[in-house]
């Protein structure tokens, strides 16, 4: 099966179609805050307008993540989460009607088995997987496994990416190109350079026809509204994870769900640019 034959991939493309308002993606680690609550929350997020659900693979070395998501991973691992739970979470999340994408660090994929990981995600109903620290030397085996399984391979693009690396990532991408709003770990709440972000997204669009999705540093609905016109989707994680860490139980769940609704409403209000999608060049 190729990705054009995978209905999950088609669902992702619909969520990120350029003529629509920017899609909201919500990140949650598998098994957090616990197995059943995490699945219930993902369904709640979908009902509040999250068109993309990003399931994180818990790891002991989340090199791109700040304190909140690192703590969530640690809690999930303490509770015994393994890759089988990730696959189960994907399967349940896909039943929500929203598109499901997995975010994993390379060490977890390598330990589980590259082909096994890709095939397991496809069978569970995932549209694809993003591996932000994928070593360039191992890009080809991952792309081959994903292509065989019929899932997308979104690519994380560092803010300081060179033109040669950007060309390579653009060629490898399917599903989306991930544009961090800042060069920082997840959970960043400092200032955003919107002019710099606009320049960055234009670079990505010049190298790839795939949707551009932003994340990292989009800590409030107001920031999502400001970033929205530049991109096809926004993924949030720390703003949702924090209340779940700080207020365990029903209160935290209610606060996280309410925040998803606020971000959804902010993106609906985001006014598009006149031409945010220039023609891609080789």
pTM reported for the whole predicted model:
0.92
Q: Identify the pLDDT of residue 6.
A: 86
The yes-or-no answer on residue 65 being catalytic is: yes
CA-to-CA distance for 268 and 113, rounded, in angstroms? 40
**Distance in angstroms (rounded) separating the CA atoms of residues 122 and 197:** 33
| Rounded CA separation 202/165 (Å) | 16
Q: Among 65, 133, 246, 269, which one carries the catalytic annotation?
A: 65
pLDDT at 279: 43
User: Can you give the pLDDT at residue 281?
Assistant: 38
Please state, in angstroms and rounded to a whole number, the distance separating the CA atoms of residues 178 and 189.
19
- Which pLDDT belongs to residue 56? 98
Sheet holding 52-56, edge to edge: 128-130, 99-103, 52-56, 23-29, 233-236, 212-215, 177-180, 155-156
> Which phi and psi angles does 56 have, rounded to 5°?
-90, 140
Residues near 148 by Cβ (< 8 Å), separated by ≥ 6?
Answer: 115, 118, 119
Which residues lie closer than 8 Å to 237 by C-beta, 6 or more apart? 26, 27, 28, 54, 56, 68, 69, 186, 215
pLDDT of the residue at 278: 47
| Residue 280: predicted pLDDT | 43
> Domains in the chain, start-ordered, CATH in brackets?
3-268 (3.20.20.70)
Task: Please list the rounded mean pLDDT of every run of 10 residues in the chain (282 residues).
Answer: 77 90 96 95 97 97 95 97 96 96 97 97 97 94 97 96 94 95 93 94 92 96 95 97 94 97 92 48 34
Radius of gyration from C-alpha coordinates of the chain: 17
Active site (annotated) includes residue 54: yes
Active-site option among 3, 19, 40, 54: 54
What pLDDT is attached to residue 3?
57
């Amino acid at each position: 099966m190729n990705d054009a034959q995978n209905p999950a991939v088609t669902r992702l493309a619909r969520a990120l179609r350029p003529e629509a308002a920017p899609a909201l993606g919500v990140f949650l680690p598998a098994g957090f805050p616990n197995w059943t609550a995490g699945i219930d929350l993902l369904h709640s997020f979908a009902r509040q307008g999250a068109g993309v659900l990003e399931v994180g693979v818990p790891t002991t070395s989340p090199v791109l993540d700040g304190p909140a998501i690192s703590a969530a991973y640690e809690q999930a691992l303490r509770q015994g989460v393994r890759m089988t739970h990730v696959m189960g979470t994907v399967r349940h999340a896909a039943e929500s009607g929203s598109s499901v994408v997995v975010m994993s660090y390379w060490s977890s994929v390598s330990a589980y088995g590259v082909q096994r990981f890709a095939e397991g995600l496809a069978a569970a109903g995932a549209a694809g997987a993003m591996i932000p620290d994928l070593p360039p030397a191992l890009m080809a085996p991952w792309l081959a496994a994903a292509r065989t399984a019929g899932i997308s391979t979104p690519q994380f693009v560092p803010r300081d990416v060179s033109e040669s690396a950007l060309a390579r990532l653009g060629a490898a991408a399917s599903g989306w190109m991930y544009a961090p709003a800042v060069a920082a770990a997840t959970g960043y709440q400092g200032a955003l350079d919107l002019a710099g972000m606009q320049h960055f997204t234009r670079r990505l669009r010049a190298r790839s026809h795939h949707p551009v999705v932003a994340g990292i540093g989009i800590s409030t609905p107001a920031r999502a509204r400001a970033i929205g016109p530049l991109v096809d989707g926004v993924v949030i994680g720390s703003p949702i994870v924090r209340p779940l860490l700080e207020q365990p139980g029903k209160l935290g769940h209610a606060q996280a769900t309410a925040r998803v609704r606020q971000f959804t409403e902010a993106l609906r209000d985001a006014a598009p640019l006149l031409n945010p999608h220039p023609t891609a060049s080789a």
